[in-house]
Amino acid sequence: MNKKGDVSAAQIITIILVIIGFAIVALWFYLVNFGGYTDKDICKLSVLTRATSPGVAQSLVPLKCKAQKICITETSKKDSCKGVNEFAGEEDIVYVNLKGNVEDKREIIESTNADAMYDCWSRMGEGKLDLFGSLEKNLGFGSVTSSCVVCSRVVIDKSVGDDVLYTTDKDGKKVSAIDVKDYMKSQQIPGQSLTYLQALTDKGVNAYSNPAPESPDAENKGEIQVSGTNQLAYVFMQIKSDSVGDVLTNQLYAGGTIAGAVLLSPAKNILAFIGGKFVLIGTAVIAATTASVGTINALEGQKVAGAYCGKFTSSKEKAEEGCSIVQGMMYDAEILNKLCVTKEGEL
């Protein structure tokens, strides 16, 4: 009897049993009633199950992640955030009512957005779990690709007044009063010793760098097309490539800061998947391909990001490398399609 053959047969049987086991788990995810569990709990469970599944079974486990819909409002009316390009006809909306003085209301807006971003990062394993490798290959997208999950969508209702959203600078110019970047840099996550910025990037990162200012005439010249949406989306994206880790790590981190021009303001620079590779392009270029790259809500310019680049935790014998990113961007289908080759979860 061929002993080597016996070992191979045993290994094959083991693999088949493992695949069958995870297929049963996957079927359970599809069919089970998760009553009593929150959407966040279900998402976390599916993320951990996907990440710990063997490569051949990974694509069988669905990511049961549902985008949280957040309405920031100054009223208690249930028709808040129900306008065109908002949450019209949608259910399960979380209402955040602004209370207190103007400064209190501004801080609530900042904390709501900071919490949405950190919650996305936490639910998706802080970017360190290999969630999409086998799925991407099975779908035939090759060795370099991006996969995304929309974690939350945020709308500021029309009831929120300009006195809350705006202020004036020393020259009397009207500017946004909402500073999410500063909030994330200075405020600690409840129950933790780290700031939001440190938790989303690295303990040694202490500031966001400032992106180069957009030309004040750019929009008037037609270089930037303004979309009709006032929704922000917080999106988790994972990129796989033999070289993307080195490339993005060099661009993301420099001298204790995370580079604003790369990820913090997608309305000015976007990491897009074009021609089989990822490229960093400005709005003047992307306007020709997406037709909408700007937004005129109160949080314009305050889109922030967190990132992890390196080896992913995986059940595979050889861990793959790449980058995971969570970033705020306008909720626009064409922009999402440029950023994400594949999308999972429920919007």
Which ranges constitute the DSSP H helices of the chain?
A: 3-31, 39-52, 55-58, 102-123, 133-138, 162-165, 180-186, 196-200, 244-252, 283-290, 333-339
Domain closes at, from 39, 64, 89: 64
Element (H, E) at 70: strand 68-73
My answer on whether 60 and 70 are in the same domain is no
Q: CA 18, 19, 23: angle at the middle one, nearest 5? A: 120
Domain closes at, from 64, 97, 113: 64
My answer on whether 139 and 275 are in the same domain is yes
Interatomic CA distance for residues 273 and 264, integer angstroms: 18
Domain closes at, from 10, 45, 64: 64
347 residues of the chain, pLDDT tens digit each: 455 455 566 666 666 655 665 555 555 555 555 556 788 888 988 888 888 877 666 667 888 899 999 999 998 777 889 887 889 889 889 999 999 999 999 999 999 999 999 999 999 998 888 888 644 444 444 455 678 999 999 999 989 888 998 889 888 888 888 888 889 889 999 999 999 988 887 655 555 544 433 333 333 333 323 345 678 889 998 877 655 444 444 444 434 444 332 333 333 344 444 444 444 333 333 333 322 222 223 343 344 556 777 777 766 666 677 778 888 888 888 778 877 888 898 88
My answer on whether 78 and 111 are in the same domain is yes
My answer on whether 291 and 335 are in the same domain is yes
CA-wise closest residue to 159 among 62, 216, 263, 82: 82
My answer on whether 60 and 86 are in the same domain is no
Structural domain of 25: 1-64
My answer on whether 55 and 181 are in the same domain is no
My answer on whether 159 and 287 are in the same domain is yes
My answer on whether 31 and 71 are in the same domain is no
Contact 167/83 with Cβ under 8 angstroms? no
Q: What single-letter DSSP state applies at residue 262?
A: I
Q: What is the pTM of this model?
A: 0.72
Residue 55's pLDDT is what? Answer: 63
Q: How many structural domains comprise the chain? A: 2
Q: Cβ–Cβ contacts within 10 Å for residue 233, how many?
A: 24
Residue 191's pLDDT is what? Answer: 92
My answer on whether 176 and 47 are in the same domain is no
Interatomic CA distance for residues 223 and 251, integer angstroms: 25
My answer on whether 50 and 70 are in the same domain is no
My answer on whether 42 and 72 are in the same domain is no
My answer on whether 36 and 166 are in the same domain is no
Residue 102's pLDDT is what? Answer: 96
